[in-house]
Amino acid sequence: MAEVKISEMRDLTRIERIGAHSHIRGLGLDSSLEPRLSSEGMVGQTSARKAAGVIVKMVQEGKIAGRAVLLAGQPGTGKTAIAMGMAKSLGQETPFAMLAGSELYSLEMSKTEALMQAFRKAIGVRIKEEAEVIEGEVVEVQIDRPAVAGAASKTGKLTLKTTDMETVYDLGGKMIEALGKEKVQSGDVIAIDKASGKITKLGRSFSRSRDYDAMGPQTKFVQCPEGELQKRKEIVHCVTLHEIDVINSRTQGFLALFTGDTGEIRAEVREQIDTKVAEWREEGKAEIVPGVLFIDEVHMLDIECFSFLNRALENDMAPILVVATNRGITTIRGTNYKSPHGIPIDFLDRLLIISTQPYKEEEIRKILDIRCQEEDVEMSEDAKILLTKIGVNTSLRYAIHLITSAALACQKRKGKIVEVDDVTRVYNLFYDVKRSTQYLMEYQSQYMFNEVPTGDAEEDETTAMVS
């Protein structure tokens, strides 16, 4: 027998993308909205997190629609992290749309249209409808396969029961296929939509919890349904206004959501949709769920965008607007006027301002610990102390960047734990802002288009600014 040679064997592992804020799980507050020192990936910023928690509570109770919040603070003080924490705390049903101020200028549509689409992505509509449903516990699934392939279609019987009754249903080809797709077996509690024939697996019956089945930790146990098998149930669908806009403005209907090319949507389409949603609200068929629109780097917006936001916030169906900026007193884009945070005073007056403060040394240490865990990097105590000092003297972002770099340096020397030497090596390889600026000061004459004056007084002033 010929010998088969294996030229190469590889482990197939799933690559997981680790983002800058992938460790954030929520705002880290207790039931009375008091911030814990370190919880759900959040560290420090206790007053800012508490304020954000109050906003989240008001959003959940639907009491703050059409308001705006500003997260203002120095770079690297966790403004985007707080916004992400708010998104996680709001849960699945509350819409959360996120964009950067500069994104509006890179889209193939007008700035105000891009803002309007972002606004409508952050407004949810909960649509209720009644449907005939068969709900019960599966006693037996019996499928008769034909003896000769292709001679006849499969037939079968499904026995369902509740606490009060038990019925046998005849199955057709489509239902057999649907049951197979959902992997329905005896002991499962299922719901069948009579109109569409859609099967939903609700869980496994408690009476079968002691069966020796192969069950994972995600298996959900439910009680056997009571009453009759066939009942009328209220089904709730959650969609955003933007999704309704896209479906109604494109010839291909809901498939337009997958093409990605939404383009500009005509005002008449939106007016008709708003009228229809208002009718549904009056009839009790739908309710509006105001979500959150987060605009990062809000100082990048110009005066036209701010004027649009001023007007949009007064709309009946406006979401909660959360904006963030790291600028001080600067020029409002599109004008020659200076204003705090580069935001016009009339718009600034509408904002509830939450301030973020620079992190303390022990907080930087905790954040670095969390990031090491998130990036699966084992680091010695001395290396962590050095990295914390680097974070204090330079910036938290720079220290976080060095974690993966130091892990790669450790990997190169075939080490298991990142040591001080690895951190020192990457610190010397990659410059931080202060050292980079210092280098530019020393070698400025060798660079093109240098605009720094060469006088002694100016050099002393620039060096003082850097230090």
Q: What integer best gives the mean pLDDT of the chain?
A: 81
**What is the residue extent of each domain of the chain?**
38-125+242-355, 129-235, 361-445
Return the CATH fold of 38-125+242-355. Answer: Rossmann fold (3.40.50)
Residue 266 CA to residue 250 CA, distance in Å, equals: 11
Residue 384 CA to residue 370 CA, distance in Å, equals: 12
**Mean of the pLDDT values across residues 24-28?**
83
Report CA-CA distances (Å) from 378 to 12, 371, 400: 23, 11, 14
pLDDT for 15 equals: 44
* Structure confidence by residue, pLDDT tens digits, 139-157: 888 887 766 655 556 778 8
| Lowest-confidence region among 68-77, 313-322, 442-451 | 442-451
Return the CATH fold of 129-235. Answer: OB fold (Dihydrolipoamide Acetyltransferase, E2P) (2.40.50)
| 184 vs 467, residue with greater confidence | 184
Report the b/e string of 441-466 with b at 16+ CB within 10 A.
Answer: eeeeeeeeeeeeeeeeeeeeebeeee
pTM (predicted TM-score): 0.68
| Lowest-confidence region among 261-265, 360-364, 388-392, 438-442 | 261-265
Query: Do 69 and 322 contact (CB within 8 A), yes or no?
Result: yes
Contacts of 191 (CB under 8 A, 6+ apart): 133, 134, 135, 199, 200, 202, 233
The correct CATH number of 361-445 out of 1.25.40.10, 1.10.8.60, 3.90.1150.10, 3.30.420.40 is 1.10.8.60
C-alpha gyration radius of the chain? 30
Tell how strand 230-240 and strand 123-144 pair up: antiparallel
| Lowest-confidence region among 171-185, 325-339, 347-361, 409-423 | 171-185
